[in-house]
């Protein structure tokens, strides 16, 4: 039997990957904020997410001051920017 703990090594790599993904998402958020735009991550309609920057939300409020295309999928609408929102909840 091998002395290598493969389960531990796999778990460490998964954690490393999750941390790297979060670091990249943080960089994407920063770019979206600077550009007053939105950013997408993943596959739309399944595991995809959309990031709405503060500037983008401010630039796109309707006459009621709401941005009603930010939908959490349960009939709640949000004008709160700076969130990764699952696209699958919007379908």
Q: What's the pLDDT tens digit per position in 7-38?
A: 999 999 999 999 999 999 999 999 999 999 98
Domains identified in the chain, total number: 1
Asked if residue 1 belongs to a domain, the reply is no
Beta bridge partners of residue 77, listed in sequence order: 71
Alpha helices for the chain (secondary structure H): 6-35, 54-59
Asked if residue 86 belongs to a domain, the reply is yes
Q: Supply the pTM of this predicted model.
A: 0.69
Asked if residue 53 belongs to a domain, the reply is yes
- What is the span of the domain harbouring residue 59? 6-90
H or E element in which residue 84 lies: strand 83-86
Asked if residue 63 belongs to a domain, the reply is yes
What pLDDT shows up at residue 42? 81
3-state DSSP helix/strand/coil % of the chain, to nearest 5: 45, 15, 40
Asked if residue 32 belongs to a domain, the reply is yes
């Amino acid at each position: 039997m091998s002395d290598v703990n493969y389960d531990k090594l796999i778990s460490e790599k998964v954690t490393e990957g999750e941390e790297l993904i979060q670091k990249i998402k943080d960089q994407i958020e920063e770019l979206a904020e600077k550009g007053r735009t939105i950013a997408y991550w993943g596959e739309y309609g399944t595991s995809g997410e959309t990031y709405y920057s503060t500037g983008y939300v401010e630039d796109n409020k309707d006459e009621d001051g709401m941005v009603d295309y930010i939908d959490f999928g349960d009939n709640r609408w949000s004008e709160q920017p700076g969130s990764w929102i699952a696209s699958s909840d919007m379908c």
